[in-house]
A and B are shown apart, each in its own frame.
Chain A
């Protein structure tokens, strides 16, 4: 099998970007959308073809999956090392490699991107800058695909930045909306900040391994006997070895893109972008780039416990932290954003608890598995939410409710995705989550407990979201506090235009296809295809652990059902109409009180509210404060610049003295 056609997966979106970007204005409006969708469809077909050939026909030699270099071109070679060290120096290559994770990512990215293109075709149809939107989508897809097949860490960095730039363009697509512009700027600067960590990490790694090629770096630095690794671990700075620094810094880069605490602050704001963009970038593709990066360099992380633990704890903390905050949000997209952060935390800590090779590497497999299934159901959730928002013209939960009759298909698909993310069998989320929790259980009980707790919270807030959109119609209790901003418009839709409730055909097709993925993806035996060292193994199914995980999910769903399925005055109706069941109703009421106390008083007030407060006032504020201090100092030092030459001469003279003293006495 010749994989040279892989290059078309990169060329097509790039060509589409150039054509729609440059000529979009002069071609019929719909054509740019058709062109973009078509080229992404071809890419998806190619990706499936490649995946089939790779996984089933030629990828495996013996029992190990090979890394296939499709194409490699030396693009820039540094001359040999200046210090006269051995080695032929660094070179930056442009290349395409296929290995299990990059093939899987190709499938995920092209598939979700294709669905998003399809969906956007009708979602954005009223947008005057339709062709620009599609050209940006193509640019993003191109960058993301280039990132996953990169053979060289520097190539990956370039595409990494391109992904950042195109995400910046897409988040700020509604450029006349100040909040969108602010959000895109925030996303760009926060991730840029993290990327600098990545950049320094690359510099360190390349310096110690004398290579920028992934395969060579891993080969040279993962062998405990190699001279390269010994030099890298011997050189230290501030109490940690250069190797530890490099991996931690690279992780910071990954954490920025993947919205890990405390670099997550850009993600909720990024929801200002159009909803299909959120589905593509902030659910399925860009935000998992950090996970992908850690997985790519996994053999190195596995060797350095400090860096490996950092991945684990940051991931676990982010998972829990985001889940708790998600319980308090009322903006439908923000809930999904925090949910994404939480699920990516899962993937991260799965990598963190994983070992290397065989069954030890279960966490690695599970993490990639969850990445795959999460892409399906989270894209479905976002696109479903988009359909609802399209219908209601508001992001706020209080403007929704009782939508199940107007949008029956969306309702079912959304429910499917909610069940999947809550880990209910036999949907995809159950299998991947169960595998992650098993890996955590085998490695670290604390992380396991965090995982279970997060799973329960996830089920709770997802069903709170689901019921609030599709069931609980009047929202009386909440309405008293937060009057809905758009009640009139909502009523028009729900009463007067009942027939026109459901989303348009191309949107529904995208939703249904993702729904199929959500339902079926779990049955793929992932450990037969993806493992930390390329060798396959059979992952065992642990019934007890699975039951605990399901129990956590079901508990969360039940609590949410009691609270949000119907308006909270249900008990009064019971009392009035069914005298015999009064006692039961009272009991229910009593339970409600307890739940109310536990969830609303304890979780909301004691944990979630402070966590949200910390997020808003401390984490965000620290960043703002840093900016303010800089501005303040800037004002202070401005007085140095008095405009008088004799003042300048005095500073000059002080400088001369200082330098002389340093030069002579150092």
Chain B
């Protein structure tokens, strides 16, 4: 394998690292550089990297099997890059006036790099390194809005909770090493016998993942961190961070712990029910729109678990597809929240009363996004949920599907509550008419189009399906 081939296997990681160096140089020699241009170039970099990853489809393994890439992982990386592109559009206006705008991207790209290493991991050590590389800058990003104490609190809470979760995760990994004698995924799979120690180790690992995906009861950090962080960071946490964790969770369960699928299907079903029900119950009474979206994203994670638990090719495909659709819906909602928060500083649902009167376009996009999150056809969100439920049915999990359906109805209630606030409720002092900047409008247009069209282009699902694999 020559150097070119070697590099091509981890091309996205190389691009990200190169961008890190370039941004550092820009930071040093940045006197007189036009900020807007830099921000545009960065946004363009993300979308270009996403496209290139999708086209080049890096494949192979490196570092003695510690770093593995296949087509599905390529798609996953492209999805994460695409999401980061939208987040750069959300953050655009905010960063244009923010002092440390280069640092924001330095941290963001670091996180992305860590996530890429994590989802390509073929070894528990590289997995753990990637995870930590993503987590610590993430806490810094949460605390990035230095002028707000809530932002600092968010960062603190994230780092403390993460530390606790990492500790337990590490203990799980050490149990694996103690009983299997190796940390390669393949070796662990071969040596996995299902002894008590191994099962306990597996449970610890599971909680580590559950923390990242914010599954009940490991979700408690979510609402506080989401509320306190800057909107762009919240969007990042709810989509990219969660998506990356779901991807590695999926491949770890299917590739390493396939032999005890009976146990984890059962566990995931319980966690899924708890997550959907509690997420919904919390979401109903939230007043802050970011907290509201936080709990909505927790509930969505509950549905994702159904797809994971099915253990089939269809399950994998439906989860990846769902994340893609969820990306568009959630980021559209966050972009609207971001625009409003940036221009008026208002973040409560009651502030959205009568929004349609003054900002019809933003209201319509928000409605579309919420409908997609609620899974109302013909938005893409409906197809995402449909595929998840279909993969659940094919595994015979009827009770779970029924509970999930009931939760879909409950969630419809609170999504409609926000829609009602925007379109029906009267407000003597509605928010003023807001002119969103070009980047935000671009993001909203792309997301809206994707929400309407993704479901109708069957090609998307089939493409993901063709690279998916089931339980090993």
Question: Which B residues lie within 8 Å of A81 (CB)?
Answer: 394
Residue of B with least CB distance to A157: B377
| Complex contact B378–A158 (CB within 8 A) | yes
Instruction: Answer yes or no: A297 CB below 8 A from chain B CBs.
Output: no
B377–A655 contact, CB under 8 A?
no
Closest beta carbon of chain A to B303's beta carbon, Å: 13
In the complex, the chain A residue whose C-beta lies closest to that of B392 is: A203
- Size of interface on B: residues with Cβ below 8 Å to A: 70
The answer to whether A196 and B405 have CB atoms under 8 Å apart is yes
Contact B281 A196 (CB under 8 A): no
Name which residue of chain B comes closest to A185, CB basis.
Answer: B416
Minimum Cβ distance to chain B for residue A644 (Å): 9
Query: Is there an interface contact between B267 and A662, defined as CB atoms closer than 8 Å?
Result: yes
In the complex, B289 has a CB within 8 A of chain A: no
Q: Which of B160, B281, B285, B465 has the most CB of A within 10 A?
A: B281
- What residues on B are CB-neighbors of A655 within 8 Å? 207, 210, 217-218
Interface string of A623-666 (1 = CB under 8 A from B): 00001001101110110110101011101101110011011101
- CB-defined contacts of B217 to chain A, threshold 8 Å: 651-652, 654-655
| CB <8 Å contact, B207 and A634 | no
B47 within 8 A of A: no
Give the docked Cα–Cα distance between A409 and B264 (Å): 72
CB pair B405 A199 closer than 8 Å: yes
Decide: A79 near B405, CB < 8 A? Known: A652-B217, A663-B203, A666-B263. Answer: no
Stretch of B1-9, B52-60, B184-192, B194-202 that contacts chain A = B194-202
Q: Is the CB of A660 within 8 A of B389?
A: no
Known: A162-B377, A640-B220, A651-B217. A664 touches B412 (CB 8 A): no
Contact among B157, B315, B389, B406 for A203, CB-based, below 8 A: B389
Asked if B423 contacts A192 (CB within 8 A), the reply is no
CB of A200 closer than 8 Å to a CB of B: yes
CB of B164 within 8 A of CB of A652, answer: yes
- What residues of chain A lie closer than 8 Å to B204, measured between beta carbons? 656, 660
- B301 part of interface (Cβ distance < 8 Å): no
Q: Is A56 an interface residue (CB 8 A)?
A: no
B203–A659 contact, CB under 8 A?
Answer: yes
Is B48 close to A, CB under 8 A? no
Give which listed residue, B211, B376, B416, B458, contacts A161 with CB less than 8 A. B376
Contact B377 A656 (CB under 8 A): no
Q: Known: A200-B405, A645-B160. Contact between A659 and B267, CB under 8 A?
A: yes
Residue in A closest to B391 when the chains form the complex, CB atoms: A82
Cβ A237 vs Cβ B398 within 8 A? yes
Report the Cα distance A188→B409, complex, angstroms: 11
CB distance from B405 to the nearest CB of A (A): 4
Among A70-78, A352-360, A511-519, A558-566, the stretch that binds chain B is A70-78
Q: In the complex, are the beta carbons of A652 and B211 less than 8 A apart? A: yes
Closest-CB distance, A648 to chain B (whole angstroms):
4
Complex CA gap A630/B409 in Å reads 12
A83 within 8 A of partner (CB): yes
B314 at the interface (CB under 8 A from A): yes
Q: Which of B277-331 contact A (CB under 8 A)?
A: 278, 281-282, 284-285, 312-315
Contacts of B27 in A (CB 8 A): none
A44 interfacial by beta-carbon distance below 8 Å = no
Of residues 251 through 279 on chain B, the ones whose CB sits less than 8 Å from some CB of chain A are 263-264, 266-267, 270-271, 278
Closest residue of chain B to A245 (Cβ to Cβ) is B398
Check B416–A631 contact: CB distance below 8 A. Answer: no
B402 contacts chain A at the CB level, 8 A cutoff = yes
A208 to chain B, nearest CB (A): 10
Is the CB of A449 closer than 8 A to any CB of chain B? no
- List, in ascending order, chain B residues with CB within 8 A of A75's CB: 456, 458
* Contact (Cβ within 8 A) B416 A189: yes
- Asked if A323 is at the interface of the complex by the 8 Å CB criterion, the answer is no
Q: Are A82 and B412 in contact (CB under 8 A)?
A: no
List B contacts of A197 (CB < 8 A): 405
* B206→A663 contact, CB < 8 A: yes
* Residues of B with C-beta under 8 A to A537: none
Contacts of B382 in A (CB 8 A): 161
Q: Which of A78-120 contact B (CB under 8 A)?
A: 78-79, 81-83, 92
Residues of A within 8 A of B168 (CB): 656
B472 adjacent to chain A (CB < 8 Å): no
B412 A189 Cβ-Cβ under 8 A: yes
Residues in A whose Cβ lies below 8 Å from that of B402: 200
| A8 sits at the interface (CB 8 A) | no
* A638–B285 CB distance below 8 A: yes
Q: In angstroms, how far is the closest chain A Cβ from the Cβ of B307?
A: 12
The reply to whether B207 and A652 contact each other, CB–CB distance below 8 Å, is yes
Q: A76-B461, A207-B394, A663-B203 are in contact. Are A631 and B285 (CB under 8 A)?
A: yes
A203 touching B285 by the CB < 8 A rule?
no
- Mask, B383-414, CB within 8 Å of A = 1, is 00010011001101011011001101110110
B223 located at the interface, meaning its Cβ lies under 8 Å from any Cβ of chain A in the complex:
yes
Subset of 13 A-B contacts with CB under 8 Å: A82-B313, A83-B312, A157-B377, A175-B423, A189-B413, A192-B412, A206-B390, A638-B282, A640-B220, A645-B156, A648-B221, A655-B210, A660-B204
In the complex, besides A79-B465, A651-B217, A663-B267, 19 extra interface pairs with C-beta distance below 8 angstroms are A75-B458, A79-B314, A82-B315, A161-B382, A192-B376, A193-B409, A196-B409, A197-B405, A200-B402, A630-B281, A631-B284, A641-B282, A643-B224, A645-B156, A647-B220, A652-B218, A660-B204, A663-B199, A663-B264
Across the A-B interface, give the 6 residue pairs with the lowest CB-CB distance, nearest first: A76-B458, A82-B312, A648-B220, A660-B203, A663-B203, A655-B217
